[in-house]
Amino acid sequence: MSAQKELEKLQAMRAELEAESRSLKEKQAALKNAVWSLEEEVANEALRKEKAAIEELRNRNKAAKNAIADLETKKKELESKLEQEPQKPEAPPAEKEPAQETPAQPKESQEASQSAETAPEETDEGGVTVTAIENEAIFENEAVSAAPKPEKKKHRFF
């Protein structure tokens, strides 16, 4: 009988292993389905993000095209406005008057030039017109500004 007991024991062990095998196969199938489902979700999420990025790019491109069109319209309007205005000859730039005073001018020469400017003409009893010369003050200013300035030494550090 010991062989009979041993046979029953082996058959029970076989039944347990078969049940475990079925359980493992079911678990494997369930995990396989879960993985497939998650892969689908990840792919769908990637598709959704890609579609959103494409839509955003479309919107940006559309906005850029609109801005370009607006700028081109404005450019054409301004060009037509320029063409409609009569062409005015440009006046040559006015020459600077040499009588401009510099801050380096002494007070005495400033006062003299101011008095010359305020009273440019004086009449004597004989009917002679005397005009003050402003250029003298200019020559004095040029002499002052033409004085050479001492140059600073340039130090080079290595």
What pLDDT score does 1 carry?
A: 66
What pLDDT score does 120 carry?
A: 47
| One domain, residues 74 and 133 | no
| One domain, residues 25 and 77 | yes
DSSP string, 46-86: HHHHHHHHHHHHHHHHHHHHHHHHHHHHHHHHHHHHHHHSP
| One domain, residues 78 and 1 | yes
| One domain, residues 16 and 63 | yes
- Which range marks the domain in which residue 119 is found? 107-146
Confidence of residue 131 (pLDDT cuts 50, 70, 90): low
Q: Mean pLDDT across the stretch 131-150?
A: 55
* Closest alpha carbon to 138 in 108, 114, 94, 102: 102
Burial 12-41 (b: 16+ CB within 10 A, else e): eeeeeeeeeeeeeeeeeeeeeeeeeeeeee
More confident residue, 116 or 63: 63
With beta carbons less than 8 A apart as the criterion, state whether 148 and 156 touch. Answer: no
Residue 119 lies in a domain: yes
Q: Which two tokens stand for residue 119?
A: 């009273």
**Separation between Cα atoms, residue 122 and residue 94, nearest integer Å:** 29
Average pLDDT of the chain, as a whole number: 77
